[in-house]
Chain A
Amino acid sequence: MKLISKFTRAIGLAAVAVTIGTATPAAAQDEGPIIVVSGPLSWPFFAAVKQGFDDAAELFGIEYQYIAVTDTANMTSDYPRLLQQAISRNPRMLLVGEFFPDGMDPLIREATAAGIPVLIHNSGQTMWEDNGSIGFVGEDPYQMGYKAGQIQADAGVTTGLCFNQVPGNPTVEERCNGYVAAMEEAGLATIYQTIGTGDATNPQAMTQAIKGTLQANPEIDGIYTLNAVPAMSALRAVEEVGRAGEVMIGTADLSNEVLLAIQSGDIAFAMDQQPYLQGFMSIQIASQFLEYGLQPIGHIKTGPLVIDASNVEQTLEVNRAHAGVRGAD
């Protein structure tokens, strides 16, 4: 067994060496595909990112390939593997969402060292300057959570609950870290709640979990959820324990339902990181970099844009006219 694994590793290394060897001189040439390594399309959020990629690609006359996982259970190990496969195809340019830095950053360094231009989108805001990427388009999940915490603290929330439906995902977890930090800076209490990994897409399980937490901690008067689906579960849980209107609900990311709930005042706010812009601007930068060698200096922030009662109408209108652009339907 040991021998075999050594042997395969040797072959693997040789393969990488060969790719790098051939990649270096040809990297900036016209050949090779433009490859996008981004998030799973089963999430409405990334469906909107892809919409941005698609629209810009059409506008700038670019062809690109979108690769992502379909099974979200082992993303931490699947993403580095996808990225490795993309690099080994000697792409003309790589557009990467750096969701899992521990596994992905060494690969990105490998790619940039081999002369492949890399542009980071969505996640990777703290890494891109060091790993040789040409730029970053996206948001800072910590800042998004921090802003949510500030809004709730300013509104008079005394005990906040951060509900994380995907424990183990470092990017998403950062939002809760930001939220907790902002609440603690204001001298307020927080509770951090996770759910079993099998229930990440079961709204009923999330409702019952939040309901139980509210029953066990009646002092909770603010909830921050990390996605649109748990936001609706939080709303129902609050209603079921008979505390509608007493608990302030805020969420990351949008859905039509969440927007309608903001309109009716049941949910206070949603943080929009404008996924469409992340995709659109990435392709725009890629096109202008490849053609003219132009690149933005410093990173481009697409969020968070706070959607609340003041601007929800317009967001809903865009949603009706252009399905998928706001990442919600």
Chain B
Amino acid sequence: MLTYAFFAVFTAGAGFISINGTAGWLNLASELGIIAIPVGLLMISGEFDLSIGSTVGAASMIVALGTNHFGLPIWPVIFLALAAGMFIGLCNGLAVVKTNLPSFIVTLSTNFIVIGATMGFSRLLANVTSSSIVTTDSAKFVFAARWGQANISILWWAIAALIGYWVLSRTVFGNWIYATGGNLQAARGAGVPVERVKISLFIGAGFAAAFVGILQGVQWNSGNSTYGMGYVFQVPIVVVIGGILLSGGYGSVMGIVLGTSLFGVISTGIFYTGWNTDWIQLFLGVLLGIAVLANNYVRRLALTARRES
């Protein structure tokens, strides 16, 4: 809130707080946010996913190659891309629960495998590494419809948040997620199917990443194997700003949404100030640091208050 007010003041007259300015940062935040929600749940369960970056690019290339080079209709190719995302998630999940290796390492390697495979196969099949996408009106509507300057991705983000909220707060599965991340041994002892929980969450993250890849691909009429690489860091950043512990076991969907919004406001708002942009990342880093410290402080206050009552 403070950050938003800060930019509202410093961008006075540049239209940041106008409807179009708001649509702008929401567009950016929503694409990040759709991935951040399942990854946030995954982090609450104590695991990490860095392979989402290359999954975004892979999904966009599957749609591009399918429609442009093989002349396939777009919808089956979209489902194929979503299935590929879920398959990547399944592989991550199986590898993590079977080997007990840190998911940080496992998914880092998957991230390289997926982008390498995407580029390799694209070269092999069509001799390109980025390609146009042939869309239809229905696909355009689902993934790239716009109301004014607001993208449909904002709606998808809201739906993802609602699903995430429902799962985490209203279902047994949600309790299992907290239990798995809080204390793995205790959860296993209490009969929580921790392996199934983790694998399902990895699949969810892969699905969301593929979804955003299709969304970006259809929106920009092209697939590119490097789409989404920035998310590898940005997604964990917004999840942590949202108050989720890196060690797992604590956090909320509302927090993730706020963390993502904060990131969207900062990284878009800064361009409306008209300041020298060499300093952008310094400024972004400082603001993120302050935001995380403030979150931490508030959370500690909340926890002490609960203990006293």
Q: Is B296 an interface residue (CB 8 A)?
A: no
**Do B119 and A198 touch across chains, with their CB atoms under 8 A apart?**
no
B228 at interface by CB-CB < 8 Å = yes
Tell yes or no: A121 within 8 A of B by CB. no
Asked whether any CB of chain B lies closer than 8 Å to the CB of A215, the reply is yes
Query: Judging by beta carbons under 8 Å apart, are B277 and A70 in contact?
Result: no
In this assembly, does B73 line the interface, its C-beta being within 8 Å of a C-beta of chain A?
Answer: no
Assess whether B51 is interfacial by the CB under 8 Å rule: no
Could you say which of B21-29, B165-173, B185-193, B297-305 contacts chain A? B21-29
Provide the residues of chain B in CB contact with A197, threshold 8 Å: 281
Which chain B residue shows the least CB distance to A167? B278
Shortest beta-carbon distance from A247 to chain B in Å: 16
Whether the Cβ atoms of A201 and B127 lie closer than 8 Å is no
- The verdict on A193 contacting B224 (CB below 8 Å), with A201-B230, A204-B216, A213-B271 known, is no
A112 interfacial by beta-carbon distance below 8 Å: no
Contact assessment for B271 and A211 in the assembled complex, using a CB-CB cutoff below 8 Å: yes
- For the complex, give the distance between the alpha carbons of A208 and B28 in Å: 7
A interface residues, tally (CB under 8 Å): 44
Other-chain residue from A70, A207, A211, A215 in contact with B119 (beta carbon distance below 8 A): A70
Contact for A232 among B220, B230, B233, CB less than 8 A: B220
- Knowing A42-B119, A203-B220, A324-B127, the reply to whether A217 touches B274 (Cβ < 8 A) is yes
Contacts of B119 in A (CB 8 A): 41-42, 70
Q: Are B220 and A212 in contact (CB under 8 A)?
A: no
Is B48 engaged at the interface, CB distance under 8 Å to the other chain?
no
Chain B residues whose C-beta falls within 8 Å of the C-beta of A210 in the assembled complex:
271
Q: Are B24 and A240 in contact (CB under 8 A)?
A: yes
A266 to nearest B CB, angstroms? 14
From B21, B31, B112, B115, contact of A204 by CB (8 A)? B31
Partner of B230, one of A71, A200, A257: A200
CB atoms of A255 and B222 under 8 A apart: yes
Question: How many A-B contacts are there with CB distance less than 8 Å?
Answer: 131
Q: Of B99-107, B129-137, B194-202, B241-249, which stretch is located at the interface?
A: B129-137
In the complex, are the beta carbons of B112 and A216 less than 8 A apart?
A: no
Residue A63, interface by CB 8 Å: no
CB <8 Å contact, A329 and B216: no
- Nearest chain B CB to A275 CB, angstrom units: 13
Q: Is B92 in the interface zone, CB < 8 Å from A?
A: no
Closest to B118 in A: A42
Which one of B12-20, B38-46, B77-85, B175-183 is at the A interface? B12-20
- Among the listed stretches A4-12, A15-23, A43-51, A285-293, which one makes contact with chain B, having 4 or more residues with CB under 8 Å of it? A43-51
Q: How far is the CB of A56 from chain B (nearest CB, A)?
A: 16
Query: Does the CB pair A47–B273 fall under 8 Å?
Result: no
CB-based contact B270/A212 at 8 Å: yes
Shortest distance between the CB of B229 and any CB in chain A (Å): 5
Given A70-B119, A198-B234, A201-B230: A323 and B28 within 8 A (CB)? no
* Known contacts A195-B280, A197-B281; A215/B272 CB under 8 A: yes
Mark out the residues of chain A between 280 and 329 whose CB falls within 8 Å of any chain B CB in the assembled complex. 323-324, 329
Q: Which of B15, B129, B132, B230 contacts A198 (CB 8 A)?
A: B230
Q: How far is the CA of A95 from the CA of B163 in the complex (A)?
A: 54
Q: Which residues of B contact A43 (CB under 8 A)?
A: 129
In the complex, are the beta carbons of A70 and B129 less than 8 A apart?
no
For B227, give the chain A residue with the smallest CB separation.
Answer: A201
Residues from chain A with a CB closer than 8 A to the CB of B222 are 255-257
Nearest residue (CB) in B for A201 is B226
Could you say which of A71, A194, A205, A257 contacts B132, with CB atoms under 8 Å apart?
Answer: A257
CA distance A43 to B129 in the complex (A): 7
Complex: chain B residue closest to A71, CB-CB: B112
Specify the chain A residue showing the minimal Cβ separation from B270: A212
CB closest residue in chain A, given B132 = A256
A42 contacts B271, C-beta separation under 8 Å: no
**Complex contacts, B229 vs chain A, CB 8 Å:** 201
Shortest CB–CB separation between residue B8 and chain A, in angstroms? 13
Give the contacting residue for A208; candidates B24, B115, B216; CB below 8 A.
B24
Q: CB-CB contacts of A252-267 with B at 8 A, as 1s and 0s?
A: 0001110000000000
Given A205-B267, A215-B16; A329-B132 close (CB under 8 Å): yes
- Name the residue of chain B whose CB is nearest to the CB of A48: B128
Alpha-carbon distance A137/B68, docked complex (angstroms): 33
> Would you call B110 an interface residue if the criterion is a C-beta within 8 Å of the partner chain's C-beta atoms?
no
CB-defined contacts of B115 to chain A, threshold 8 Å: 42, 70
Which of B28, B31, B221 is most buried by chain A, counting CB atoms within 10 A of its CB?
B28
**What is the bound-complex CA distance between A217 and B272, given in angstroms?**
9
Is the Cβ of B277 less than 8 Å from the Cβ of A42?
Answer: no
Given A200-B230, A204-B31, A208-B24, check contact A216 B271 (CB 8 Å): yes
A193, closest chain B residue (CB): B277
18 examples of A-B residue contacts, CB within 8 angstroms = A47-B127, A193-B271, A193-B277, A194-B277, A194-B280, A195-B280, A196-B280, A196-B281, A198-B230, A198-B234, A199-B230, A203-B216, A203-B220, A204-B27, A204-B28, A205-B28, A212-B24, A217-B274
Q: Which 9 residue pairs spanning A and B have beta carbons closest together? A: A212-B271, A216-B274, A198-B230, A212-B272, A201-B226, A215-B14, A216-B14, A208-B268, A215-B15
Additional A-B contacts beyond A70-B116, A194-B277, A212-B16 (15; CB < 8 A): A43-B129, A198-B233, A201-B229, A201-B230, A202-B227, A202-B228, A203-B219, A208-B27, A215-B14, A215-B21, A216-B271, A232-B220, A240-B20, A241-B15, A257-B222
